[in-house]
Amino acid sequence: MAELRLGPLLRYVGEDSATVWIEADRPCEAVVACEGDGGGTARTWQVAGHHYALVTVTGLRPGAGTPYAVHLDGRQVWPLPGSPFPPSTIHTAAGGSAPLRVTFGSCRWAAPAHHTRDPVGPDALDSLAQEIVRDGAARPDVLLLLGDQVYADETSEATRRWLGRRRDLSDPPWDQVADYEEYTHLYYESWLDPEVRWLLSTVPSCMIFDDHDVIDDWNTSEAWLGQIRGTPWWQERILGGLMSYWVHQHLGNLSPAELAADELFATVRAAADGTEAVRAFATRADADAASVRWSYRRDFGRVRLLMVDSRAARVLEEDRRSMLDDGEWQWVREQALSDGSFDHLLVGTSLPWLLPHAVHAAEEWDAALCRGVRGPRWAERGEKLRQAADLEHWAAFRTSFDALAGLFAEVGSGPRAPATICVLSGDVHHAYVAEAHWPRPVGSRVLQLTCSPIHNSVPAAIRLGFRVGWSRPGRWIGRALARHGRLPASVIRWTRLGGPWFGNQLMTLTLRGRLLDLRVAGPKGSFEPSTHRRK
């Protein structure tokens, strides 16, 4: 009998359809059976000895909540017997201007077993699930996971023991993951957490990778890439990372119509074993990032989400560094400017666009050194500092930073400008809210909303550094670095509206027509800054 190995994950949800992702332990027929209207069925497909299905559920009623169960070869395997959680439910979109609740965050180490002391505090996803079940809190309409869903380079003690039974950990990549099979273990460890498993089964999710989904500082610079490609273990590591991301995260980001048009997905479903097809795709994606698009767009009524790949799409040649290649940038522009008006534009990018001022200046200064503005000796020092201190956010790609500012000014001007443009990010292990300002007023309010981590450590040095980064002395430091780096003045300025907040946390936006409310839920309770409401 087929058993449910992982999932179900509720991924895309529209007005009358949805997709549900599962992994089974053998080939089988997967059925999503709904109470009342709707349902779907799909055969599993195989990658590297694992059996997956992405079931498209159709016939759902708009604006309704429909409980569902999962059957494998005719036998119910979800909900689990004796589950303490409410039924997993598909809440379809109501359309129009109905309120939308968007919860987001990034950077999640898998939580330890419940009987084990958690050294970094409660997992924010666990806490969200408990609030919904225990306190009757409203469910988000969508959960945005903005990178570092798994940590391939910082494995848990339990995973290290598992790896040690599989291979010699004295050989590279040591206690980091090495291949596709080891990546799948990370997803089991992360997504089988009982609260998280139920939460992901009942709240739709959109995901994008960041560096730790592959390795710390992934695609920091041309020098970094040359060094890592010279190691004997990297090729299998990057292929395993991209393959597992396509299977576990990327496919679920697509709508049923996009899945139906996806040639690789069709090939894998039709094959007896899709491993080589997915491996060939990952090989091409690594060799030629411009040949693959991981970014995607979702519309929720009059709210548009652009989830932007700020890792794999980079151009790393030092004389033309860019956060996005030309094709990716053109796609972002088209999605932001086309297809009618909307009340809010959400831009999900794992890396913050607006950083604390001193941190921003340090990254821009370091990038200038690496370009050679102070000569080859400073360039060498700059590259070492860039890799050691992770100086590779949008600020380190000045042309891209300015281009995004220009796009936001363009989108935010004119009679059809959205009420807000919100950049949703994580990565930096604290939360804050900042607002951008242009020399000439922009009709839309442009906010940087950063929330991290969901479940990770925040060393005291990081807390101090980011507090200083927002301070007046931090601005003085920034101005000194700008002078040394011979940097032109920024096209915009920005002010901090809230934070920094530290600890495991999530942010929730509630969008009602052209109004926006923000709630930050963390270890010290909830913050609801009234300054973020906009007509």
- Domain membership flag for residue 395: yes
CA distance 90 to 34: 9
Please give the backbone phi and psi of residue 86, each rounded to the nearest 5 degrees, phi first.
Answer: -65, 165
From 491, 460, 490, select the one nearest 478 (Cα to Cα): 490
In this prediction, residue 534 has a pLDDT band, given cuts at 50, 70 and 90, of: very low
- Domain membership flag for residue 164: no
- Domain membership flag for residue 14: no
- Domain membership flag for residue 368: yes
Q: What is the pTM of this model?
A: 0.96
| Number of domains observed in the structure of the chain | 1
Segments forming the whole domain that contains residue 321: 300-497
| pLDDT of res. 340 | 74
Cβ(89)–Cβ(198) below 8 Å:
no
Cβ(127)–Cβ(209) below 8 Å:
no
- Domain membership flag for residue 261: no
- Domain membership flag for residue 399: yes
In this prediction, residue 525 has a pLDDT band, given cuts at 50, 70 and 90, of: low
Residue 319 has pLDDT above 80, yes or no: yes
| pLDDT of res. 113 | 79
CA distance 459 to 461: 5
CA distance 514 to 421: 11
CA distance 31 to 463: 48
pLDDT digits (tens, 9 = 90+) for 428-464: 999 999 999 999 999 999 999 999 999 998 888 888 8
Q: What is the mean pLDDT of the chain?
A: 94
CA distance 440 to 460: 39
- Domain membership flag for residue 453: yes
427, HSE (Cβ side, Cα atoms, 13 Å)? 28
In this prediction, residue 414 has a pLDDT band, given cuts at 50, 70 and 90, of: confident
- Per-residue pLDDT, averaged over 184-202, amounts to 98
Residue 490 has pLDDT above 50, yes or no: yes
- Domain membership flag for residue 190: no
pLDDT digits (tens, 9 = 90+) for 46-60: 999 999 999 999 999
In this prediction, residue 336 has a pLDDT band, given cuts at 50, 70 and 90, of: very high
478, HSE (Cβ side, Cα atoms, 13 Å)? 22
From 329, 233, 238, select the one nearest 286 (Cα to Cα): 238
In this prediction, residue 522 has a pLDDT band, given cuts at 50, 70 and 90, of: confident
Residue 530 has pLDDT above 60, yes or no: no
24, β-bridge pairs: 4, 51
CA distance 446 to 438: 10
Q: SS3 helix, strand, coil % of the chain, rounded to 5? A: 35, 25, 40
| pLDDT of res. 532 | 46
